[in-house]
Amino acid sequence: MASNKQKFNWKFPVLITFITFIIAALLSAYSQSVLTNISVIYIAFILLVFIILIGILFDIIGVAVAAANPAPLHAKASRKIPGATIALGMIKNADRVSNICNDVVGDIAGTLSGGVGAAIAANIIFSAAHGGAWLPSVLMSGVVAALTVGGKAFGKSFAINNADTILFTVGKIIYGLKYIFTFRFLKKR
């Protein structure tokens, strides 16, 4: 009797762990250096919302790749519609794509948003002339958690119900980026 189990590939988890460490450390250092130079708190809030939205967007893509139906994409790929083949490749590698989108990008965004939120709270505390220094920190933690969890809850439902469309759109975007960068690279030669 043949087994359908695949052999565990330990190289991908080790590689993704190392890459995640490097990316997280670099982005954290960059965001902290940006935050120390920002004197206007509104810009820091915009940065925070941007980081949270990136985490939600990649969570949507990670769920969509796991829930997508390849049949409509096969039909589009057979008609040579740009992006369909890329979307099918994402489905074929759904475990890796989902891991990168949900875990790598999602967890890095979560960690960064926590750090940015703490920096904003610290800025508010230091600029406040009165007591109650714990309140901004508690409120900021609550806001970051609520936006992240609420956004991802909405995103998961949206991704499951629109998985094929989301994945095809991501495939078209990747196709377009590959075309633009390949064209520019070849044009400069």
**Axis-axis angle for helices 11-36, 106-127 (nearest 10):** 20
Q: Looking at residue 185, what DSSP letter applies?
A: H
Tokens of 43: 């810009």
pLDDT at 11 over 60: yes
Q: How far apart are CA 161 and CA 154, in angstroms?
A: 11
Q: What is the residue-averaged pLDDT of the chain? A: 83
pLDDT digits (tens, 9 = 90+) for 102-158: 988 988 898 888 888 887 877 777 776 555 566 777 788 888 888 888 999 999 999
Residue 65: name the closest of 25, 36, 105 by CA.
105
**13, part of any domain:** no
pLDDT in tens, 40-63: 677 888 888 999 999 999 999 999
State which amino acid sits at residue 35: L
Structural domain including 173 reads 38-188
Inside any domain, residue 14: no
Query: Which runs of consecutive H residues, i.e. helices, occur in the chain?
Result: 11-36, 41-67, 70-78, 84-92, 94-98, 106-127, 134-161, 163-188
Confidence (pTM): 0.78
Three-class HEC string of 24-70? HHHHHHHHHHHHHCCCCHHHHHHHHHHHHHHHHHHHHHHHHHHHCCH
**pLDDT tens-digit series, residues 66-96:** 999 999 999 999 999 999 999 999 999 999 9
CA distances (Å), 68 to each of 65, 89, 167, in order? 5, 12, 7
In a domain, residue 2? The reply is: no
For the chain, the domain total comes to 1
Q: Would residue 11 count as lying in a domain?
A: no
In a domain, 12, yes or no: no
pLDDT reported for residue 130: 55
19 located within any domain: no
CA atoms within 13 A on the CB side of 124: 19
17 in any annotated domain: no
The answer as to whether 33 is a domain residue is no
State how far the Cα of 148 lies from the Cα of 50, in Å rounded to an integer: 11
